[in-house]
Structure 1
């Protein structure tokens, strides 16, 4: 049984508990929030015994073996560093840090302390994406990866009304690229590795973050085209085009349906049954790694997370998106 401590009491943490509760070897031992009332309310909702307002106190309590971080992105590195130094395993929401400098520091600590550290990129652990990876060779030489994640944010209505919420504030290391563009980039890195070059463009909001953008990743024999937005919607699927066919995924962030379309042949449905609580798969994978005494995921690996973060660093440099965390 792995007992998790949770930092963050928003809807993501609710989903984390709902998914994890489907596993027999999962429990939540403690929750931490800046407000004891918020922590207690969250604990009551999920039958959590221990509440804290001090992260160090929770980590030193002996009530948890692993930490799930769902705080604002600008705080990810701070909390992860404290936990890793104390020998607590860490599952951290995407994007795992504000920049690659922070991530390199965390990787060094995790390696030195010999504890498990993983970015909670759920999509790459889901059955549909595993099917893509297993059947990629059936489309021949890949020539293009295309991924779109454009989802109009309800917070943008507030923004236009003059109320700038955290999702559109650079001090929280937020914006469209960090929030949802990462979902498009990470699978490309997992499938095709580090690109030769990055070309980015974006529409910047007055608050200082990007509302939408596009990125082209250049490889030796193919390219990856990524589009993301928090100020418009899109229904486009994910497609990997090869010389002998193509693979189509229904949704980059929560894939459930995958179709193989051989050139000149009949399409094949490669979809596998998928649990509705889709965070289940990342939690199951993380716990399995712990039980096998592994210190790094072969899926959401240090290398994949670092390449993804370096791509986003370069994209932000090109579009002029700077976070306070970059200046430390």
Structure 2
């Protein structure tokens, strides 16, 4: 499958490294706003075609599918333009700025008969399927604690007065959108939509949330999501049941999972995993295209929309509004 990519950043580098391990992945094109950066990146990764407009990328006969890793605010417009020209789209999380944008993207995908999938790696990894397989051992589940707090590599620059993309509200960024999703998406896949949520956030002067939390209420359990781009946390994600607790050290890349049963005995669920973390979303996406399936069962439209609904409500509660939100209401 001939891929084009939008974005010349770290996450794109990781996608390329993962794709190289898949026999059906063929990197053919890269888009950047400047010809110089596109050519520089193409030279670095031996990419034959470069593009400086989305229209040219969409029209290219050399591209079957596109991985989008541009700032969040651009996802919906870029994906829709590509899909309307028959390109399949793997879109880096979060899929878009809000529910309305995502719903539009889904409509376009269905109308054009192409594959659209949110590129959240964690729920495609073998470790997550291990979580699902062994969840019943915990007995009646009472609490899910989704924790992902990681000091951003761009935060030092922010503190020196340089506001990079990661902290710009105009690009629909911030802690909840960029990192909180890692706790929310697995929660939705495992337990469905909560009855209600309560959100808190700590704002930065640029206008985005630097960190925050979401408390989600279910019928007979609760979920606590903690996220941050301005501190590190070394606490794991936990799924707490009446018979035991499942411990997941890194929810963004679930591995080395274990269950500690009531009484103290432990069961190691760690599986050998020789592929890069993003390999499995690439594998799922290619399989969907080859089998002519419009969406993934795990990273599905319903899970993506449900996650976006939770994050949008959380943002409304803490008072974080993006330009894309106002545009969607017009």
Is contact 2:257-2:269 (8 Å) kept? yes
Match of 1:262 in 2: 261
Q: What is the RMSD computed on CA atoms of the aligned residues?
A: 1.0
* TM-fit CA distance, 1:155: 1.8
Distance 1:92 1:58 in 2: 15
Match of 1:231 in 2: 230
State TM-score, norm by structure 1. Answer: 0.98
* TM-fit CA distance, 1:70: 0.5
Distance 2:197 2:314 in 1: 7
* TM-fit CA distance, 1:152: 1.2
SS at match of 2:271: coil
SS at match of 1:154: coil
* TM-fit CA distance, 1:116: 0.6
* TM-fit CA distance, 1:205: 1.0
Distance 2:109 2:39 in 1: 31
Deviates most, 158-167 or 180-189: 158-167
Match of 1:180 in 2: 179
SS at match of 2:310: helix
Deviates most, 218-227 or 273-282: 273-282
Match of 2:164 in 1: 165
Distance 2:141 2:109 in 1: 35
Runs of at least 5 residues in structure 2 that lack an aligned partner in the other structure: none
Q: Would you say 1:124 and 2:132 are equivalent positions?
A: no
Distance 1:79 1:289 in 2: 21
Match of 1:56 in 2: 55
Following superposition, which runs of at least 4 residues in structure 1 exceed 3 angstroms of deviation?
none
Distance 2:154 2:7 in 1: 19
CA deviation vs aligned residue, 1:123-176 (integer Å, no higher than 9, x gap): 001111110011111111111000111111232222222211111110010111
Is contact 2:199-2:314 (8 Å) kept? yes
Match of 2:297 in 1: 298
Match of 2:74 in 1: 75
Is contact 2:21-2:275 (8 Å) kept? no
* TM-fit CA distance, 1:266: 2.4
SS at match of 2:154: helix
CA deviation vs aligned residue, 1:221-277 (integer Å, no higher than 9, x gap): 111101011111100111001111121111011111111223236211111112352
Aligned residues: 327
Distance 2:110 2:220 in 1: 34
CA deviation vs aligned residue, 1:42-77 (integer Å, no higher than 9, x gap): 111111101110111122111111110000110000
* TM-fit CA distance, 1:110: 1.0
CA deviation vs aligned residue, 1:264-295 (integer Å, no higher than 9, x gap): 36211111112352111110111111121111
State TM-score, norm by structure 2. Answer: 0.97
Distance 1:326 1:104 in 2: 13
Runs of at least 5 residues in structure 1 that lack an aligned partner in the other structure: none
Distance 2:25 2:154 in 1: 33
* TM-fit CA distance, 1:219: 0.6
Q: Would you say 1:150 and 2:155 are equivalent positions?
A: no
